[in-house]
């Protein structure tokens, strides 16, 4: 299986550009605050701190991104014809659920907006002029909204933990079947059916919304989800993958297969998502079970 490699210089270059820009802005604002050649308002100081935090994030992202790409390159050299072994998250068919992407973003925005508003409020500069009405009302509203979202996602993560999907066939073959079992770390007493959605999306040229190439869904009766003696819940998974769909690809295209499962529960609902390795194999896929 010949696989092209995607050029990784562009992401690193973008990280450098943003890091330099925010570092320059933060440096200028701090110098204007410390050196007595001009007057910098409290809003400017807050902007300097925000730019400093963003600059630190981008500078931290550069070595992290390079380290991840180095590990991926080692996996590619070890398994040039088996791209499903390049991703360390796919541990021989045992796939851990993804932490919601909004989890870290919600906490970051909540700390940023609430912290900035609190700083300006206690410094007494939140009522300097009419322009600060934006800060007085918008900052706390946005910050509290993000804080509520972050707390909900944190409680959900603590309550259900990170689920695990075990695949019966690894990788999942195009034209074959996706058969596996989802293991939840606690006992679920679902008020309704378990809803499973499998999607194949292309994220190569889409900024705001994924382009769905193929999708399917299934409904699992709560009676089919076994509650084990270890206070865990076992949810069966079964989908038929058609022949015409594209396989997983993070080289030339950004094609992703994602399995989502959710269930209505008292209080917070159960939700989990998994990235699935779906590839076109040279050998004909074998039937695992009737779906």
Helices and strands: H and E segment counts in the chain: 5, 12
169 plus 107 within the same structural domain? no
Residue 284 is assigned to a structural domain of this protein? no
Res 56: pLDDT: 86
Asked if 249 and 200 count as a contact pair (C-beta separation under 8 A), the reply is no
67 plus 90 within the same structural domain? yes
Tell me, what CATH number does 202's domain have? 2.60.40.640
How many domains are there within the chain?
A: 2
152 plus 214 within the same structural domain? no
- Distance in angstroms (rounded) separating the CA atoms of residues 176 and 91: 20
**Mean pLDDT score of the chain:** 76
Nearest to 287 by CA among 182, 178, 199: 178
Res 135: pLDDT: 57
Looking at 60-69, 85-94, 137-146, 221-230, which range is the least confident one? 221-230
Residue 290 is assigned to a structural domain of this protein? no
Helix or strand (DSSP H, E) at 96: strand 94-96
**Portion of the chain with pLDDT greater than 90, in percent:** 14
SS3 of residue 150 by DSSP: helix
28 plus 132 within the same structural domain? yes
Q: Between residues 30 and 290, which one has the greater pLDDT?
A: 30
Residue 167 tokens, joined: 């695949």
Instruction: Dump pLDDT digits (tens) for 27-66.
Output: 887 776 665 555 556 566 667 777 787 788 888 888 888 8
* Residue in this structure with the two tokens 């707390």, named with its chain if needed: 151
Res 162: pLDDT: 86
Domain boundary among 139, 158, 177: 158
137 plus 251 within the same structural domain? no
Res 109: pLDDT: 72
Max CA pair span of the chain: 77
Residue 108 is assigned to a structural domain of this protein? yes
Residue 118 is assigned to a structural domain of this protein? yes
Range of the domain at 104: 9-158
Q: Between residues 5 and 110, which one has the greater pLDDT?
A: 110
DSSP code at position 222: G
Res 1: pLDDT: 45
Helix or strand (DSSP H, E) at 140: helix 139-160
132 pLDDT higher than 90: no
Asked if 170 and 90 count as a contact pair (C-beta separation under 8 A), the reply is yes
Residue 63 is assigned to a structural domain of this protein? yes
For the chain, give percent helix, strand, coil, nearest 5: 40, 25, 35
Residue 4 is assigned to a structural domain of this protein? no
- Distance in angstroms (rounded) separating the CA atoms of residues 137 and 117: 9
């Amino acid at each position: 299986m010949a696989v092209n490699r995607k050029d990784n210089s562009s992401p690193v270059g973008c990280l450098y550009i943003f890091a330099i820009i925010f570092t320059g802005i933060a440096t200028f604002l701090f110098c204007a605050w410390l050196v007595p050649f001009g007057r910098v308002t409290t809003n400017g100081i807050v902007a300097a701190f925000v730019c400093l935090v963003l600059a630190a994030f981008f500078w931290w992202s550069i070595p992290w991104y390079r380290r991840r790409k180095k590990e991926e390159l080692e996996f590619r050299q070890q398994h040039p014809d088996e791209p499903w072994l390049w991703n360390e998250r796919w541990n021989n068919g045992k796939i851990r659920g993804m932490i919601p992407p909004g989890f870290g973003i919600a906490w970051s925005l909540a700390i940023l907006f609430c912290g900035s508003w609190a700083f300006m409020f206690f410094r007494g500069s939140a009522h300097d002029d009419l322009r600060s009405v934006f800060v007085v009302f918008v900052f706390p509203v946005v910050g509290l909204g993000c804080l509520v979202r972050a707390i909900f996602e944190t409680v959900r993560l603590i309550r259900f933990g990170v689920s695990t999907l075990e695949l019966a066939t690894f990788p999942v073959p195009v034209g074959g079947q996706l058969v596996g079992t989802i293991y939840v770390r606690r006992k679920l007493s679902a008020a309704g059916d378990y809803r499973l959605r499998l999607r194949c999306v292309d994220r190569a040229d889409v900024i705001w919304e994924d382009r769905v190439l193929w999708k399917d869904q299934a409904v699992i009766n709560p009676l089919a989800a076994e509650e084990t003696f270890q206070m865990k819940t076992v949810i069966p998974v079964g989908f038929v993958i058609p022949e015409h769909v594209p396989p997983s690809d993070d080289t030339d295209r950004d094609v992703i297969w994602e399995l989502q499962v959710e269930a209505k529960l008292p209080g917070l609902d159960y939700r989990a998502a998994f990235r699935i390795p779906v590839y076109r194999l040279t050998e004909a896929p074998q039937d695992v079970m009737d779906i």
